[in-house]
Amino acid sequence: MLIQIKNLIKTYQRHDGAINAIDNLSLDIPKGSFVTITGVSGSGKTTLLLILGGLLRPTSGKMVYNGNVLNLHNEDQLASFRSNHVGFVMQSFALIPYLTAAENIMIALNVKNSDRAKNRIRAIELLEWVGLHDRTSHYPKELSAGQQQRVAIARALANDPDLLLADEPTGNLDPGLSEEILGILKEINQNHKTTVVMVTHSPMAAEYGSIKIKLENGKLHDQQTHVNIE
């Protein structure tokens, strides 16, 4: 297993009382799987994704990553975990506006390696891989939405992550571009053996998952496994 979460609880304090966004959830995510998480708004799917990526600390529970218990309350350890093991693809692309496409990828590479020349070559390779070899010096505002999402995917792959987390990656894209992006994610999963966990509202996108999870009120409502995962 790549990830095992046990008895995970995430409680938000609100003016009208406490709400469990994740309510005593236990889940196993095998290596190399393509997991899609669906559910209505407020079902806890994005909260779960944030916890899986070490972006949000749960209220209680345990997370085992590759056999090691992750200290979910140590910020430095979580930051290192993110830079070494996780790639993120967000609905809003999450690109820095004053950096070019190549530089947006290099900032992720720079965390681990300070060799500017090597990082630039790697960034250009990744941009070529997502079909943007002629857009390396373009700023995000000079790119279409689909191109920006491809840059974001290239950045997510920069440090060869074991786990790629995608939060509504097609939410801002038209159907044609959505399929293109989902195709890239599928390719990453199948060719690079990278585990992909994708949160989506789209039934069409959810069909890409080998494991389909549906959350309701922070609990596992339904889980379907469609293919055997090694």
Chain residues that interact with another protein, rule: CB under 8 A:
46, 50, 53, 55-56, 75-76, 79-80, 82-84, 88, 90-92, 94-99, 103, 107-108, 110-112, 114, 116, 155, 159, 167
* 32 SS3 class: coil
Residue 210 beta carbon to another protein: minimum distance, rounded to whole angstroms: 25
Q: Which is nearer to another protein, 76 or 134 (CB)?
A: 76
Q: Which is nearer to another protein, 161 or 218 (CB)?
A: 161
Contact call for residues 214 and 222 (beta carbons, < 8 A):
yes
At closest approach, how far in Å is the CB of 145 from another protein? 15
- When the beta carbons of 102 and 211 are compared against another protein, the nearer one is 102
| Of 223, 227, 214, nearest in space to 37 by CA | 214
Q: Which is nearer to another protein, 155 or 212 (CB)?
A: 155
The answer to whether the beta carbons of residues 176 and 209 sit under 8 Å apart is no
Q: How far is the CB of 168 from another protein (least distance, A)?
A: 10
Cβ pair 198, 205 in contact under 8 A:
yes
Question: CA–CA separation, 212 vs 225, rounded Å?
Answer: 6
| Structural contact between residues 21 and 47, judged by C-beta atoms closer than 8 angstroms | yes
| Residue closer to another protein, measured from CB, 44 or 210 | 44
Provide the minimum distance between the beta carbon of 160 and another protein in the complex, in angstroms, as a whole number.
11
Tokens representing residue 11 in the block: 């409680």
In whole angstroms, how close is the CB of 228 to another protein at the nearest point? 30
Which residues in the chain belong to E strands, given as ranges? 3-14, 17-29, 34-38, 60-65, 68-69, 86-90, 163-167, 195-199, 211-216, 219-225
